[in-house]
């Protein structure tokens, strides 16, 4: 949804304005050409569009010359409770794993503007964030903010550092993140994109001290209502795509997807038909598009197979041929001829 017309809590903008104020930036300069009125910043429940928040961030980046570390400051001021119902649902989740799944379902309610997906593999959680749709001049600030939010809030909620065992930073932004990563003892390498964070999942299923399943369910209902109100609910087809992306590797069945959406298989099929599509078509489109995006970055067929959760290149290649009618190697060569080698700048 690159038009940025979906809505977000004004609380995220209020954090940015507070940061700017502490650095001596007048309110009127922060809000210039954003369409955000000062009264909105102190009115509970108020929402602004993603475009308005990006305009506000653009004003800060311009004022401070895109200074490294400013996004980190913004992230450290964005507490889990800033997310409202989502934050309370995360705090009351039964386990870390359930909290992660909850966050991924409602990722558009967090700070990030990136397209995200995750996959579990060999005792690891691989979290990908693709921010290529974000305006180039804002990418560094936004990445700093997202990483700082993750690291500081994980430590606050779980009383332990995030169990990150590695990662990749794309678009030449690793030097900008180095001070924050060094502070938390995290090793990351340069990547072709998207960004990647790898977690050790040992202990993900241990009960959390503040667990309250009933409370978590109550606040998740509020999150679902907010998504619909903010224009982020995309019908059953959109919900099916989200489940497919959360469970990469082709191992999810129609029955699994229907169960994840809390409906019968028959109901899911009927509602997809009402929207003019089918599970098979959505599966082919979703996995095929994702595979094409990864191959177009210059990753090898083996790397793409791994990132999508397949056991190896042969099984991925067979699936890709079903989706697109050609081999992934042939597609990658054609993409390279059209666009040339990918740039990390």
Query: So where are the chain's domains?
Result: 234-345
pLDDT at 1 over 50: no
Q: Give 195-204 pLDDT, tens digit per residue.
A: 999 999 999 9
3-class SS string, the chain: CCCCCCEEEHHHHHHHHHHHHHCCCCHHHHCCCCCCCHHHHHCCCCEEEHHHHHHHHHHHHHHCCCCCCHHHHHHHHCCHHHHCHHHHHHHCCCEHHHHHHHHHHCHHHCCCCCEEEEEEECCEEEEEEECCCCCHHHHHHHHHHHHHHHHHHHHHHHCCCCCEEEEEECCCCHHHHHHHHHHCCCCCEECCCCEEEEEECCCCCCECCCCCHHHHHHHHHHHHHHHHHCCCCCHHHHHHHHHHHHCCCCCCCHHHHHHHCCCCHHHHHHHHHHCCCCHHHHHHHHHHHHHHHHHHCCCCHHHHHHHCCCCCHHHHHHHHHHHHCCCHHHHHHHHHHHHCCCCCC
Does the domain spanning 234-345 belong to CATH 2.60.40.4070? no
**For residues 236 and 261, is the Cβ–Cβ distance under 8 A?**
yes
Residue 167 CB contacts under 8 Å (≥ 6 apart), including other chains: 186, 187, 188, 189, 195, 196, 197, 198
Instruction: Look at strands 189-190 and 164-169 and give their pairing.
Output: parallel
pLDDT at 336 over 80: no
pLDDT of amino acid 120: 87
pLDDT of amino acid 235: 64
Q: What count of other Cβ atoms lies within 10 Å of the Cβ of residue 109?
A: 22
pLDDT at 118 over 90: no
pLDDT at 210 over 70: yes
pLDDT at 182 over 60: yes
pLDDT at 94 over 60: yes
**For residues 262 and 38, is the Cβ–Cβ distance under 8 A?**
no
User: What does the radius of gyration of the chain's CA atoms come to, in whole angstroms?
Assistant: 20
pLDDT of amino acid 248: 61
**For residues 165 and 88, is the Cβ–Cβ distance under 8 A?**
no
pLDDT of amino acid 74: 97
* Segment 320-345 mean pLDDT: 72
Structure tokens at 275: 């929207």
CA–CA dist 73, 92 (Å, integer)? 26
Structure tokens at 128: 């990908």
Q: Give 70-86 pLDDT, tens digit per residue.
A: 999 999 999 999 998 88
pLDDT of amino acid 306: 80
* Segment 52-80 mean pLDDT: 96
Which of 95-104, 232-241, 247-256 shows the highest mean pLDDT?
Answer: 95-104
* Segment 151-156 mean pLDDT: 91
Q: How confident is the model at residue 121 (pLDDT cuts 50, 70, 90)?
A: confident
pLDDT at 344 over 60: no
pLDDT at 252 over 70: yes
Structure tokens at 345: 């700048």
Higher-confidence residue of 249 and 87: namely 87
Lowest mean pLDDT among 22-36, 106-120, 140-154: 106-120
CA–CA dist 68, 91 (Å, integer)? 31
pLDDT exceeding 70 applies to what percent of the chain?
92
Give me the chain's average pLDDT, please.
Answer: 86
CA–CA dist 305, 30 (Å, integer)? 44
**For residues 304 and 328, is the Cβ–Cβ distance under 8 A?**
yes
* Segment 40-44 mean pLDDT: 90
**For residues 327 and 321, is the Cβ–Cβ distance under 8 A?**
yes
* Segment 172-190 mean pLDDT: 95
**For residues 242 and 283, is the Cβ–Cβ distance under 8 A?**
no
Prediction pTM value: 0.73
* Segment 317-328 mean pLDDT: 88
* Segment 155-173 mean pLDDT: 92
């Amino acid at each position: 949804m690159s038009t940025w017309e979906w809505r977000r809590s004004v609380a995220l903008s209020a954090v940015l304005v507070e940061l700017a104020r502490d650095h001596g930036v007048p309110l009127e300069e922060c809000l210039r050409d954003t369409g955000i009125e000062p009264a909105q910043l102190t009115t509970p429940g108020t929402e602004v569009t993603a475009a308005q928040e990006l305009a506000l961030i653009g004003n800060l980046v311009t004022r401070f010359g895109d200074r490294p570390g400013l996004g980190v400051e913004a992230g450290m001021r964005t507490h889990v409770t800033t997310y409202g119902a989502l934050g309370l649902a995360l705090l009351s989740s039964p386990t870390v794993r359930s909290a992660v799944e909850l966050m991924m379902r409602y990722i558009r309610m967090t700070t990030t503007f990136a397209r995200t997906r995750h996959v579990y593999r060999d005792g690891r959680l691989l979290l990908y964030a693709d921010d290529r749709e974000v305006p180039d001049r804002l990418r560094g600030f936004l990445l700093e903010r997202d990483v700082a939010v993750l690291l500081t809030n994980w430590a606050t909620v779980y009383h332990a550092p995030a169990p990150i065992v590695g990662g990749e930073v794309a678009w030449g932004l690793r030097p900008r993140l180095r001070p924050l990563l060094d502070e938390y003892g995290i090793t990351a390498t340069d990547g072709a994109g998207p960004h990647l964070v790898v977690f050790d999942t040992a202990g993900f299923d241990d009960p959390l001290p503040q667990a309250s399943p009933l409370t978590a369910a109550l606040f998740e209902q509020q999150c679902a209502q907010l998504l619909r109100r903010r224009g982020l609910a995309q019908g059953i087809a959109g919900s099916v795509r989200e489940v497919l992306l959360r469970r990469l590797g082709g191992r999810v069945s129609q029955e699994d997807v229907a169960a994840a959406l809390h409906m019968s298989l028959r109901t899911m099929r009927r509602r997809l038909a009402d929207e003019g599509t089918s599970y098979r078509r959505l599966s082919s489109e979703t996995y095929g598009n994702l595979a094409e995006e990864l191959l177009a970055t210059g990753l090898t067929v083996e790397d793409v197979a791994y990132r999508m959760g397949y056991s190896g290149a042969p099984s991925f290649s067979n699936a890709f041929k079903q989706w697109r009618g050609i081999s992934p190697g042939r597609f990658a060569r054609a993409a390279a001829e059209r666009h040339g080698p990918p740039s990390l700048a």
